[in-house]
Amino acid sequence: MKNRSFLSLGILAVAMTFILSGCSPVTLTSWKNPKVNEQISKVVVWGMFKKLEYEKPFEDAMVAYLNSKGMKAISALDFLNPNVKYEYQDLERMIDSVGAEGILIFAYKGIDKEKDYVPVSTSIYPDYYNNYYGYYNWNYPFYGPGYNVVTSGGYWTTTTVINLTANLYGNKKDELLWTAQVSITDPEYVDTSSTEIAKSVYRDWLKSDILKFK
């Protein structure tokens, strides 16, 4: 009989309040289970987040990218009702019905914020950087060179990092195949940033020999 590890993770995954962005730097640190050699090509993407306005665009963008790479990815919201708590056997039956070989679950792990001070700096550059007359004036022997002074800095910046955990379970035995800690810096939009996450996940799966190609 299959164990219930991925179902237990779903029960424990709780509130998420975050906004993801398109060009946000993504950091991914992963571990592959050395005792399992199972490979997948069909996967359910499940964002276990509290709010549907986060879960749906997150799953849809992840699915779109993975499908573009030749996989068969399915959003959990396409066949699971988020307002229903399923029994284990019912959940297994529904996942089996879509032909999934793996279940990729994302859970929210918190936010880190860092403040950094940008010190004051002064730059001096010649007038000819402004326009062609400035360059002419700089070179003409009867006109002396001029300089512009630009001061910048002297303010604080705040960096926001969203932390997620990603777990990939094989549907055959419900064994953990792969896990990763994912961090997104200064996020803004859900769909575009989840695409960046999908790229990092896919690259890591290739490196870890998790994907099955027909």
Q: Per residue in 99-119, pLDDT tens?
A: 999 999 999 988 877 766 667
pLDDT in tens, 150-166: 666 666 766 788 899 99
Report the C-alpha gap between 166 and 180 in whole angstroms. 5
**116 contacts: CB under 8 Å, gap ≥ 6:** 156, 157, 159
| Structural domain spans, the chain | 5-109+160-207, 120-152
Diameter of the chain measured on Cα atoms: 92
64, 74 contact by CB (below 8 A) = no
Measured over the CA atoms of residue 23, residue 110, residue 200 and residue 105, the dihedral's sign is negative
User: What pLDDT shows up at residue 54?
Assistant: 87
61, 190 contact by CB (below 8 A) = yes
pLDDT in tens, 29-85: 999 999 988 999 999 999 998 888 889 999 999 999 999 999 999 999 999 999 999
Distance of CA 70 to the CA centre of its chain: 20
User: What pLDDT shows up at residue 213?
Assistant: 81
pLDDT band at 10 (very low <50, low <70, confident <90, very high): very low
Q: Is the pLDDT of residue 13 over 50?
A: no
Q: So what CATH class is 5-109+160-207?
A: alpha beta
* Mean pLDDT, rounded, of the chain: 79
pLDDT band at 122 (very low <50, low <70, confident <90, very high): confident
User: What pLDDT shows up at residue 51?
Assistant: 84
